[in-house]
A = this chain, B = another copy of it.
Amino acid sequence: MNLERWRTIADWPLTAAAFLFLIAYAWEVIGDLTGSAAAAAEAVIAVTWAAFVIDYVVCLVLAPRRWRWFYTHLLDLAIVVLPALRPLRLLRLLAVLAVLQRTAGRAFRGRVIMYVAGAVALLVFTAALAVLDAERSAPASPIHTFPQAVWWAFETISTVGYGDFTPITETGRLVAVGLMVGGVATLGIVTATLASWIVERVAETEADERAATHGEIVALSAQVAELKELLEERAAS
């Protein structure tokens, strides 16, 4: 079995594990669980974690150039090993968005907009969970409920930054930097898609000119064909 085949096999189970992780993580963080409920959520998270560990180890074993794979997949290792990076496992759910987008019609720009909206929603939700998880235990932090965390995530990804809620823990600030990067990327993609659309609309007026050039080539081609017929007639005579 090679790496490609493993990836095909592991694709959906891993996405399911990420989805399970999302539910258990959201339940644990939003519900601020204690006792047996917390234990159950942690058990589900541990199982999904095991799925990611198995995938990492199998990929490492199957990779043709193992050291190269190891160096180019350090982030995967960090996501598996560091508990603080757990929320990044949800990035796998972006693959689900890619599937949804496939069914959403053919227009490239329409799909980009849908994908951006889905990615922003996932990013805001994940970041709100992660920041609440990190900040809740810090008494000096202003972020103590899930709605506050979601509000903060919107403030940050849009780069508005009122400053009524700001993370004070290192993990919370790491989440914030991730959201800032996501915000800059989102703004970039929205602008770029609009730019592409406007450039095209403006170019439509120039299309007439190009059509004219095309028309000239067609006319020239007809002239040459006519000329050839004329010569063939003479050759036949």
Contacts and interface: CB of A to CB of B under 8 A. Distances in A.
A155 B147 contact: no
Nearest to A177: B154
Contacts of A193: 188, 198
A229 B127 CA distance: 73
A120 to B, nearest CB: 9
Given A108-B202, A224-B224, A214 B217 contact: no
Question: Copy number in this complex?
Answer: 4
A220 to B, nearest CB: 5
30 contacts: A154-B176, A155-B160, A155-B161, A158-B181, A159-B159, A159-B160, A160-B160, A160-B176, A160-B183, A161-B163, A163-B164, A164-B166, A184-B186, A187-B187, A187-B188, A188-B191, A188-B194, A189-B198, A192-B194, A192-B195, A192-B196, A192-B197, A192-B199, A193-B198, A195-B196, A213-B214, A216-B218, A216-B221, A224-B227, A227-B227
